Chain A
Amino acid sequence: MPRPFTPKVVTANDLLEGDVIYFTAENSWTRTLSEAELITDEAIAPLRLLEAEKHNLVIVGAYLADAKEGPNGPEPTHFREEFRRTGPSNYSHGKQEAEADV
């Protein structure tokens, strides 16, 4: 039996800022994971990654990351992606800092 497909999001880093970004269903980029497109169809995932890679002039290193459906949109399933969407644990820098500014 093949393993069931784990839903994915396309994520990358912004070329100029270097920060974590996610690909949306509208083919744009967001800095908020919950606004990303959750890809649930295994056949679609590589196509969405290819679509995202068309933006290679403004992004770096796009890849498919495991995610799951949450009440407000996609959520990480692995702690690495949890850190990427939050920021480091020793300072309130990265995305948590941006949130604190709001």
Chain B
Amino acid sequence: MNIHEYQARDLLAAAGVPVPRGAVARSPEEAESIARSLPCNSFVVKAQVHAGGRGKGHFQDGYKSGVHLVKTPHQVKTVASHMIGNTLITHQTGPEGKPVHAVLVGESTDIARELYLAIVLDRSSGCPVIVASQQGGVEIEAVAEKSPEAILREVIHPGLGLQPYQARKVSIFLGFPSTGLRAPCRLLHAAYRLFIEKDCSQVEINPLAVTKGGDVVALDAKLGFDDNALFRHKEIQELQDPSQEDPRDLAAAEHHLNYIGLEGNIGCMVNGAGLAMATLDLIQAAGGKPANFLDVGGGASEEMITAAFRLLQGDPAVKAILVNIFGGILKCDILAQGMVAACRTTPPRVPIIVRLQGTNVEAGRKILKESGLPLLPAEGLMEAAEKAVAAAGKKGK
């Protein structure tokens, strides 16, 4: 689950990580009054969307950049009035962009050094790991590629937590003088506590700035949360912003479908995550492009299958649908009944290719055949993918 920058900033501040002064505004007037309350003579106004690359982005109406540096509260108001209610397009949002409903107004910081700091989970050791580098403000992947020695990875013992000596080691690596380790160490402990307490999947502070005055502050941060642990974090769940999500993803979540919207034109409905992934691979091997990843799970009900169908049919990009089911616990005849019922309530708009295999497959195929619905059967995996690609292509011409 993703949250806005201002929400991440508030969580960090509450955990004890220093952040620049500022607050979120939902109107130009509010933005101006926040600026007036800040004791500084230079302000940053940042559009709040769930995407990176804001500084280099542009708005739907041509207004440049989602991050502005201005001198007066009046200018803050002007910038905010351009941003709020507008749509920001960056290299991460796709061409349709993301709506801006709020801006973060903050003091601008005199930066002496920009560092990188993150806490993530190391899969192979099964431990949290602190990732630190003096080369902040750029993507860490780029640093890892060019100069891996500029990155420190400090593995944390899951039973003991972050130890003081480890915080000192990371701080020294980040270039803090041995007489000035208190502030960075305190910040590291606070960030680690946040990571553990909120079941984060990542806490990424980039850049972590050292100001000309010698303070350490988190200038920008990205927090990620473990979806499996949200049940014990109502306060995090409440931070969700539906306006930033793909509407197809929202509809899928409502019906507990495991769905990811993609760019192609072949809708997929599959049981099992691995098989769903392999089905996307098959479609591309056959020369097509999938419109989505959709795993209906092992125990899909008739309601879920109907909802899945409606979702695929409702996507204007979808030109053909490929249903790929290996009936294990979910029996093929039950699935076939569900599909027939779904097609009766929502008549098929595009060709549907069905590949069934496994438990009660003969009974399932019989139900589909006798339904009189225009469903194209396929037996082999590659055959199914090729039929779907051909059907989508024909429709497109």
Partners in one complex: no
Name B's A-contacting residues (CB within 8 A).
none
Name A's B-contacting residues (CB within 8 A).
none
